[in-house]
Amino acid sequence: MLEWPKIINKTLSVKLSLMVVFELTLLLFVALGVMFFFARKMLKNEAMRNAEQTLEATVQHIDNILLSIEQSTGNVYWDILGKLKDQERMYDYCETIVESNPYIVGCAIALEPSFNDDHQPFMAYVHREGYRDDNDMMVKAEAFGSQLYTEQEWYQEPLREGHACWADPLKEVPNAEAVTCFSLPLFDQTWKPVGVLSVDLSIALLSSIVLDAKPSENGYCTLLGEKGSFIVHPDPVKLAQETVFTQCENGAAPSVREAAEAMVNGERGYKPFVMDGRDWYVFYRPFKRSAVPGRAMEELKWSVGVVYPEDDIFGGYNLLLTIVLGIAIFGMLLALVLCTYITHRQLEPLHLLTESAKRITNGNYDEDIPDSRRKDEIGQLQFHVKEMQKALAARMSDLQKSTDALQERNEVLKQAYIQTQEADRVKTAFLHHMTNQMTSPADTIVKSVTELCNHYHDYTSQEATDEVDIIQSESQVITQLLDNLIEAAEGSTRKEDGV
């Protein structure tokens, strides 16, 4: 790994290729980023439109089922009001209503105990069994669940409200399938509420019908009641037992609660959430029923949602992004390789010039630099370097000749210097010898002159003459030595002039 920075710093082709590829990569990824940003935005908007359409279709589908149940019930409602005292007839009405609509799995007519002559509770209940396997049969019963009907919500609410209403799913009735009920109050001739007509819609059946039209490969529709109960959901366990908030209590992600609260509060929009380690989107809106003449339009406070895993919305986008990024990275690597190869080929003369320059630096001034056929800057550089090498070789040749001549001259001067030093040594030795030769006569002359000056009045004429003769004799010796020294000096001067 440590070799790569060195290779990059030393190799111009790699450095240029990296610069070019880096700029191309930057521009490419900026362009791809902008493109995919707007593509994702468009996909989300498209998903919103599809979700709105799916929501509308789901609402319409569910509402059509509810409306058909309301109409089937309403068709016999007025006839029932006139026959409330005929308790046996109530079972026939219940059976007629169940048979009239395939979505109705049960029907109950329950009367106030005070309305009956014996003041006893009365309930006629007919429900389907085996309707899932096309072998359904009608079963009559006098109760729904183990609790007295007068204490059950499906009975109390219409009497309390005084009009038809849909109840949240009943999921806590033992040994009974979870159902949602459409209930109408029954009135006597004085228009006093005396009972309830209620029909059951199996939420499992409703879910299977709605979920047949899947919004996407892995998506599904859901319908929540006022308190978060599942009315439509692909998981039968949740239909039978759970509310959406039960999931939150069992450790679901906080985003699930946020989405559920938004739906239960009647909001409209979409929210992301995490479930089972996957990212999901839920698009939701309040459940609004179509206005039909004669239809009770009380607010149900239900919310319908379409749930998509993120892969269903952005799966193609993410796959395309991965493919494009893979192609882009492969393309950048291929561009780097090709750019490096082409740049290396284009810069190969520079490499040759570099190697030639190294050899010239090492003293090989006759380095042969080939001619270039290129007319670009590199070709011109190679041409001028070749010319420079020729001029440098010629200059170095002249300099070598001058150096050789100077060396020869220096050798002559060295020999002359040696001879001069030898002559100086001889001259010094000669002068020393001559000086030594003149010392003794000079001492004798000094002595004789001193004696003569100090004692001349004591000397006889002959003794004075002898002293003078001695001084004269020694002076002649000194004179002769000086003549020899002068002759030697003139001979040396003539010899040096000859050189």
Give the C-alpha distances (Å, rounded to integers) separating 150 from 179, 449, 459: 18, 180, 191
Give the range among 64-73, 270-279, 304-313, 456-465 with minimum mean pLDDT. Answer: 456-465
Closest among 324, 254, 317 to 45, alpha carbons compared: 317
Kindly report the backbone phi and psi dihedral angles of residue 224, in degrees, each rounded to the nearest multiple of 5, phi listed first. Answer: -105, 140
* Contact present, 182 and 155 (Cβ < 8 Å): no
Would the pLDDT of 453 be above 90? no
Q: Write out pLDDT tens, residues 422-435.
A: 877 877 777 777 77
Q: Rounded to an integer, what distance in angstroms lies between the CA atom of residue 336 and that of residue 317?
A: 28
Q: What is the pLDDT of the chain when averaged over all its residues?
A: 80
Would the pLDDT of 148 be above 60? yes
Q: Rounded to an integer, what distance in angstroms lies between the CA atom of residue 481 and that of residue 473?
A: 13
* Pairwise pLDDT comparison (487 vs 150), residue with the higher score: 150
Would the pLDDT of 83 be above 60? yes
Q: Give the pLDDT score at 199.
A: 93
Q: Rounded to an integer, what distance in angstroms lies between the CA atom of residue 181 and that of residue 203?
A: 10
- Sheet strand arrangement including 278-286: 230-232, 220-224, 303-309, 278-286, 269-275
Q: Give the pLDDT score at 1.
A: 45
Q: Write out pLDDT tens, residues 95-138.
A: 999 999 988 989 999 999 988 888 889 999 998 887 665 667 78
Q: What is the CA radius of gyration of the chain?
A: 64
* Pairwise pLDDT comparison (338 vs 156), residue with the higher score: 156
Task: Give the number of other Cβ atoms within 10 Å of residue 101's Cβ.
Answer: 19
Would the pLDDT of 487 be above 80? no
Q: Give the pLDDT score at 2.
A: 46
Would the pLDDT of 406 be above 60? yes
* Contact present, 472 and 445 (Cβ < 8 Å): no
Q: Give the pLDDT score at 42.
A: 83
Would the pLDDT of 198 be above 90? yes
